[in-house]
Each structure stands twice: as C-alpha cells, then as structure tokens.
Amino acid sequence: MPELPEVETIRAQLAPRLTGRTITAVAVTDPLLVAPADVDEFCSALIGRAVRRVRRRGKYLLLEFDSGAVLALHLRMTGRVHWRAGPPSDGAERFLRAVFGFDDGSSVTFGDARRFGRAWMIPAGTGLREYWRGRVGDEPLEDGFTARRLAELMRGRRVAIKTALLNQALVAGLGNMYVDEALFAAHVHPLRPAGELSEREYRALQRGIRDRLRVAIAAGGASIDTYRDGLGERGQMQAQLRVHLHEGDPCPRCGTIIAKSVVGQRGTYWCPACQPDPTGAAVPVGSRRPRRVREGVSG
C-alpha cells in the first residue's frame, strides 16, 4: 500500500512534469473523492491554477499552486496517481475517480478500487504548519528526526511500538509494511511498549526507519498488490522485504521461521529470534534453520 516511499516516488516523477503547468480541465467521476466538498466547487477552484511545486507531507501528495492554494491527495489503500503525456484513453484507468488535464495536453488520473482515497483543496493563505498540527507528525527523513527525537515522541507511551509508529501524528509516512521492516532492522519486537525501549534501541530504530525508507525510495516503492508509480510502473522494493509478508519463511539473518500475528489491527511479521519477545518467551526449539538468505534479499 502507498506509504512514504511510494508517495515520494510519485512526487519525484510528477515534479518535473507538472511544475509550471496550468490545469485546464478537471473531471471528478466519484464525488466521494472530494467529500464533503462540492464537486463543482472543487473543480472550479482548480481550473486555471499553475503548479508551483509538487511536494509530499507524510503520505499526502501536494500540488502547490502559484496562488498559494494546495491540492492534497491521499491514496489510502488502493489509490493510484498516473501521469500521461496525453489524455488517458478510454479504459486506461480501471477504477477511475478523477482526471486532471494540463495546458501541455498531459493528464493525471486518480484511480482507486477501494475508494478510500481522498482529495482536498487547501485554500490560499492557510498556514500549512498549523494545518497539519496534531494530525501529521515528524518527517522521518528530515534532519530533526534524531534518535533523541524518536525517544521523546515515544516517551510515556504504553502502546506497542508497532502501534505508535503507525500513528501518523507522531511519525508521518510509515505504514504497516515499513514499520515491520524497520522493527526487524532494529531488532525490536513489535509488542514492546513504545516508551520503554533502551537508548540503543531508539538509535537502532531511528536508523532502521531511515534506512528502510531510503532503500524503498531507491527501489521505487513496493508493488505488492495494487501500487503503481506515477508512470504506471511497478516498484521493486517487494523483493527486498525481509519479514513483511514472509510468514513461514526463514529469517534472512538467522534462519528462524518468521512469525505473524495481529498487532494494532494489522498483520504483523517479525523474527522471533532477532526480535525477542517482551514477555521473555523462549524461541521454540526446533524452529531454527541453517543460516540461509532468501533470493533477492540482501542481508
């Protein structure tokens, strides 16, 4: 599903193609996309706007116009944003919800099978810092996101570290997949109370988060299911996932069988040996396998 690396991949592809372009046509075929806003008002607010910058905040994709207004898009589960040099041909987007046309003839479609995705117009003059406050937290790839800062964000929280990292108001952009991967990288069990990691573990986790996000961005995101990048292509990160979706496979580090359960209503994958259980339960004897690295997985 689209998380920070997937949205960042799309952003990077749209930026050079849309910057300076003016929107000449908008069609919203699914009113739920812009709800509770009025479709006609949403469309007319976009016509004639020139794109100044294409940005990202957490999992939000942002088209910033020279008027100061901002179009925010969120892909949620199955949303797709697809740029084309020309208009989309009929049926090009199976679950089409909106089309944006630009002055050079190019187009951007928003497709979304599950219809969880949303679009908002943020009026000019809105202070974005204030706008995101309380809902969208730290950008994990920015300089301020240090191990100390991560520890501060988690301080006093008793919820599972997995749940806390999924909370967008704390750290923005992490989803189910990259949280599993980051916790594995840091040797931290997903059920550990968020505020009770050691200094060393916060450090490892901060590094793990950044490392996995950077690797994923370099790979163009993960196309496990429906994700496609801004040009309709698949990402390559799925081949580098170490634990997520790997239930029953050997851990790429130690060979122990990867476990799965539900944490925070989400399917959660971890290595029972590399990420020791907070209750101290022993790793079952016989679950170890000879050290072996899966194909396509770098240790």
Partner DNA sequence: ATTTTCCCCTGCCGGC
Partner DNA sequence: TGCCGGCAGGGGAAAA
Give the torsion sign (CA, 92, 24, 74, 228). positive
Q: Which amino acid is at 159?
A: V
Q: Does 2 participate in catalysis according to the annotation? A: yes
What are 62's strand-pairing partners? 55, 72
Which position among 207, 266, 288, 294 bears the catalytic label?
A: 266
Tracing tokens 């949205």 back to the chain, one arrives at: 7
Which position among 11, 21, 56, 59 bears the catalytic label?
A: 59
Q: How far is the CB of 166 from DNA (least distance, A)?
A: 6
Q: How far is the CB of 184 from DNA (least distance, A)?
A: 15
Q: Does 87 participate in catalysis according to the annotation? A: no
Q: Between residues 166 and 216, which has the closer beta carbon with respect to DNA?
A: 166
Can you give the binding site for DNA, defined by CB under 7 A? 1-3, 32, 58-59, 74, 76-77, 95, 113-116, 135, 157-159, 163, 166, 168, 175-177, 262, 264-267
Q: Between residues 15 and 77, which has the closer beta carbon with respect to DNA?
A: 77
Q: How far is the CB of 264 from DNA (least distance, A)?
A: 7
Q: Between residues 166 and 273, which has the closer beta carbon with respect to DNA?
A: 166
**Could you tell me which of 143, 144, 190 has the C-alpha nearest to residue 164?**
190
Residues in contact with 189: Cβ distance below 8 Å, sequence separation at least 6, in sequence order: 161, 183, 270, 275, 276, 277, 278
Which pairing describes strands 60-65 and 70-74: parallel, antiparallel, or unpaired? antiparallel
Q: Does 17 participate in catalysis according to the annotation? A: no
Q: How far is the CB of 78 from DNA (least distance, A)?
A: 7
Q: Between residues 16 and 156, which has the closer beta carbon with respect to DNA?
A: 156
Q: Across the chain, where does the E strand assignment appear?
A: 23-28, 51-57, 60-65, 70-74, 79-84, 96-102, 107-112, 118-122, 259-263, 266-270
Q: Known catalytic residues?
A: 2-3, 59, 266
